[in-house]
Amino acid sequence: MAKERQLWGSRLGIIMAVAGSAVGLGNFLRFPVQAANNGGGAFMIPYFISLLLLGIPLMWIEWTLGRYGGGFEHGSAPGIFHSVWQKNRFIKYFGIIGIFGPLIIFIYYTYIESWTLGYSVFSLLNKYAAASDKSAMQQFLNAYQGLEKNSYFSNLLPAYTFFVITFLANITVAYYGIKSGIEKLCKFAMPILLVLGIIIMTRVLLLGVPNLMKPDWNISNGMGFLWNPDFSSLKDAKVWLAAAGQVFFTLSVGIGVILTYASYLKKADDVVLSGLAAVSTNEFAEVIIGGSIVIPAAFIFFGPIGIQDVAQSGAFNLSFVTMPLIFKQLLFGEFFGFIWFLFLFLAGITSSVSLAQPAIAFLEDEFNFDRKKAVKIFGVATFIFCQPAIFLLGHGVLNELDFWGGTFSLVLFATIETVLFAWVFGMDKAWKEIHRGADMKIPNIYKFIIKYITPTFLFLILGFWFYQDGVPTILMKNVSAAEKPYVLGTRVFILLIFIILAVLVKIAWRKRKIRTYKI
């Protein structure tokens, strides 16, 4: 007997859930670094063009495809793709990427997320008080990650403890399902996250001039470093690719998560306004809050020369090295450090629970497992899969997982689903499906954009990558000899996961029954 599929409890719930999936660590750490290193304010020109031509169209595509596939009781990409093109018996295998990508990201993202929980506790306990400069704070982070042993940490036990807590928190939310788990979390966490972000942003904007000998190190110049445009950078194709990549990361499009979330909508639920609301929430968090904290604060304390190193040091160092040093110099620094890392933790967990859902939905819908059984299987498997990212962190494993799961798979999957939506499903039928139950009409220009501009944009991104970096990446040209065995092992590990998913899809379709569209 087929079980009844879950549904979202409210429109606000689904908007908060999709926004929670999109608003993650990349909004507050990756975005300001990308902007600062790619032309400052000029970066926002390709960024907003990419948002209009790539991000928003893909958001509508995924909301619509997910809702449509949910009508056939499919909540993951293989089933949703099959619903769209039932005559093609191979299309479901392309949908594997929509489970594979989130799964790969989940198995390293939860570990990074756990660092924010650990550091929020360390801030309250003033654990890193002895780390008085950048070098010492880097040693503290390295010891916590198990990359070295020193007076701060002698083993990986503290980091592993916070990882287990974070992992169990994610599994617990997933265990309680769509309405009682994910929706409740996001309706609770997202408002708190935004409030904490505004508090930190306000504190940064109210910073005075800590170094009276250098009055130019002020908030105005700090904002200027990030937002003053270098228009010459617009001639560089890499800036445009970076902007497009940031839009992918920030909206969580091309992953498969939104497809799954939208599959729990009712047939007449509005996807036009809901999608725009989720995008708007994310953009506020990223551009307004994310652009007003890390880089401006770092400029005030490290100046125009030091900020160059800060901006190029990477997202991890920004959060776990630079920001703690800044908070140590503020009144009530321990408190602001705590809410900064709690802020990041909430951003992380609302994203990571969404990454778990495609695989869980696949087990529920295609194998007819109940929620508890599906979550238990997912939990055991992913806990095992997480271990290489934890214990081999210093050997390039995390970077390899991030590239194939969190970068390449996103663009490839987005390209496939856009072609499927606009050219196989058909743009006229797709346009009608988008507007089913909609409270507003999308401008007709988007009919042309979705059919021609968005797929062309995606093919260009893939083409530029293969032309510029494809062969060296595949052949590991930029990998040291010492790290090559680890990178190769990680690729074998990734390939095995993909093969396992392909086998599961094949088994599921042998057992499946023909499903008709549910009204």
Three-state DSSP string of 61-87 = HHHHHHHHHHCCCCCCHHHHHHHHCCC
- For residue 3, what pLDDT is reported? 65
**342 confidence band (pLDDT: 50, 70, 90):** very high
Q: How confident is residue 227, by pLDDT bands cut at 50, 70 and 90?
A: confident
How far apart CA 375 and CA 359 sit, in angstroms, is: 9
Q: 270 phi and psi, to 5 degrees?
A: -70, 125
The mean pLDDT of 470-485, rounded to a whole number, is: 88
Q: From CA 339, how far away is CA 131, in angstroms rounded?
A: 19
Residue 229 bridge partners (DSSP): 40
Residue 1 pLDDT class (50, 70, 90 cuts): very low
pLDDT in tens, 276-335: 999 999 999 999 999 899 888 888 888 887 777 777 777 778 889 889 999 988 888 899
Q: Tell me the pLDDT band of 513, cut-offs 50, 70 and 90.
A: low
Q: Among 58-72, 247-261, 435-449, which is the least confidently predicted range? A: 247-261
Between 146 and 4, name the one with better pLDDT: 146
* Helix, strand, coil fractions of the chain, as percent rounded to 5: 75, 0, 25
Distance CA 71, CA 88 (A): 19
* Mean pLDDT, all residues of the chain: 91
Q: Answer for the pair 363, 377: CB distance below 8 angstroms, yes or no.
A: yes
- The DSSP code sequence of 205-239 is HT---S-TT-TTSSHHHHHHHHHSB-GGGGG-HHH
Average pLDDT over residues 216-222: 87
Q: Answer whether 187's CB lies under 8 Å from 12's CB.
A: yes
Average pLDDT of the residues in 2-17 = 86
Q: What is the pLDDT of residues 176-194, one digit of tens each?
A: 999 999 999 999 999 999 9
* Between residues 517 and 441, the one the model is more confident about: 441
Which ranges in 313-391 belong to alpha helices (H)?
A: 315-317, 323-328, 333-367, 371-391
Distance of CA 70 to CAs 84, 148, 215, Å? Answer: 11, 48, 58
Quick count: other Cβ atoms within 10 Å of Cβ 259?
Answer: 33
In CATH, the architecture of 11-511 is Up-down Bundle (1.20)
Q: For the segment 67-105, what is each residue's pLDDT rounded down to a tens digit?
A: 999 999 999 999 999 999 999 989 999 999 999 999 999
pLDDT band at 518 (very low <50, low <70, confident <90, very high): low
Q: Give the pLDDT band of residue 396 (cuts 50, 70, 90).
A: confident
Over residues 26-75, the pLDDT tens digits come to: 898 888 888 888 888 888 899 999 999 999 999 999 999 999 999 999 99
Q: Which tops the pLDDT comparison, 236 or 212?
A: 236
153-162, pLDDT tens digit by residue? 999 999 999 9
Average pLDDT over residues 352-366: 96
| Residue in 384, 459, 457, 448 with CA at minimum distance from that of residue 422 | 448
The domains of the chain are located at: 11-511
Listed in order, strand segments (DSSP E) in 20-69 are none
Q: In angstroms, rounded to a whole number, what is the distance separating the alpha carbons of residues 256 and 250? A: 14
Pairwise CA distance, residues 175 & 420, whole Å: 32
Q: Two tokens at 43?
A: 């970066």
Give the three-class secondary structure for 466.
helix
Give me the long-range contacts of 210-218 (CB less than 8 A, separation at least 24). 210/300, 210/301, 210/329, 211/301, 211/303, 214/303, 216/304, 217/299, 217/300, 217/301, 217/303, 217/304, 218/300
Task: Name which residue leads in pLDDT, 438 or 308.
Answer: 438
Q: How many residues does the chain have?
A: 519
Handedness of CA 90, 92, 95, 99 (dihedral sign): negative
Q: What is the mean pLDDT of residues 16-28?
A: 91
> By C-alpha distance, which of 416, 261, 315 is closest to 109?
315
Beta strands in 170-216 (DSSP E): none
Provide the percentage of residues in the chain whose pLDDT is more than 70: 97
Cα separation, 204 vs 300, whole angstroms: 9
* Confidence grade of residue 516 (pLDDT, cut at 50, 70, 90): low
Q: Give the phi and the psi of residue 90 in degrees, each rounded to 5.
A: -100, -15
How much of the chain exceeds pLDDT 90, in percent? 64
Q: Which candidate, 12, 21, 18, 8, places its Cα nearest to that of 349?
A: 21
The pTM score is: 0.93
Q: What whole-number distance in Å separates Cα of residue 519 and Cα of residue 514? A: 16
Query: C-alpha distances in angstroms, 41 versus 95, 154, 164, 287?
Result: 37, 43, 40, 11
pLDDT confidence of 515, banded at 50, 70, 90? low
